[in-house]
Structure 1
Amino acid sequence: MGIVTPFPSQAPIQVAFDRAELQRILDLYGRMVAAGRWRDYAIQFGKDAAVFACFRRAAERPEYRIEKRPALRQKQGEWALIGEHGVVLKRGHELGPVLAPVERKLLKLVDE
């Protein structure tokens, strides 16, 4: 007869944001849209990371990328804020402190 190939024992794991994390990110996104700073976003889920990218215009590179990499949880922290040119601006174990530089920029925009 033919050769039988067994199914893999475990499907590849996909990294994603949980509801509270996504709510916090979308709340910040909504405030930045209301301030006129951002106009578009993209979400990417992969095996290694989940990425939320924020754009000033859809045709540009993202101004910020918020990445969740569970593999770095025990090392540098699973959260990272990455700037437009690929530079890591902030890294940490919790989402709040990683988003702080963007939230400070929002306060300056409203103050002006």
Structure 2
Amino acid sequence: MNMSPPSPFSAGQAPTQVAFDRREMAVILGLYGRMVAAGEWRDYGISMLSDMAVFSVFRRTAEHPLYRIEKRPRLRNRQGMYAVVGMDGQVLKRGQDLTSVLRVLERKLIRVVRPD
């Protein structure tokens, strides 16, 4: 009789981890690319945890994130599963639609141009 330890992945079960899908990543990376081109952001990190996925953006690599874009599926039926969180932990915007939640960050691209 062979007594092998149980596998961490049971038959038919996927690992319990929240992640951004391809469409969500396209929206987030589109914004990220525009902010990099504007010189606002320089680096990012992605965390996939058991209860949420986080896309963190940095001005420099070795500092705290400027913003965190969070996906929490458990909040889908309450205040919305997407949230943008600032450096100080304040929730800047929360909602059901990722594109509309990210608009709070796109306002940073709009600058007043003054003639010389």
Q: TM-score, normalised by structure 1?
A: 0.88
RMSD of the alignment, in Å? 1.7
Q: How does 1:45-84 map to 2 (within 5 A)?
A: 45-84=48-87
1:12 Cα shift? 3.4
C-alpha distance in structure 1 between counterparts of 2:25 and 2:47, whole Å: 12
SS in 2 for 1:26: helix
Deviations 1:10-47 (A, max 9, x none): 34321111111101100100110010001100001111
Q: Distance in 2 between matches of 1:41 and 1:6?
A: 36
Cα 1:92/1:3, change in 2 over 3 Å: same
Q: What secondary structure does 2:99 align onto?
A: helix
Question: Equivalent residue of 1:33, what SS?
Answer: helix
CA change 1:3–1:74 in 2 (3 A) is same
- Count of residues in Structure 1 that have an aligned counterpart in Structure 2: 110
- Secondary structure of 1:24's counterpart equals helix
- Shift of the alpha carbon at 1:96? 1.1
Matched letter for residue 48 of structure 2: F
Query: Which structure is higher in helix share?
Result: 1
> Shift in Å at residue 107 of structure 1?
1.9
Secondary structure at 1:100 match in 2 = helix
Q: Any stretches of 5+ residues in structure 2 without a counterpart? A: none
In structure 2, what is the equivalent of residue 101 of structure 1? 104
Structure 1, unpaired ranges of 5+: none
Map 1:7-46 to 2 at 5 A.
Answer: 8=10, 10-46=13-49
Name the SS of the counterpart of 2:25 in structure 1. helix
Identity of aligned residues (%): 58
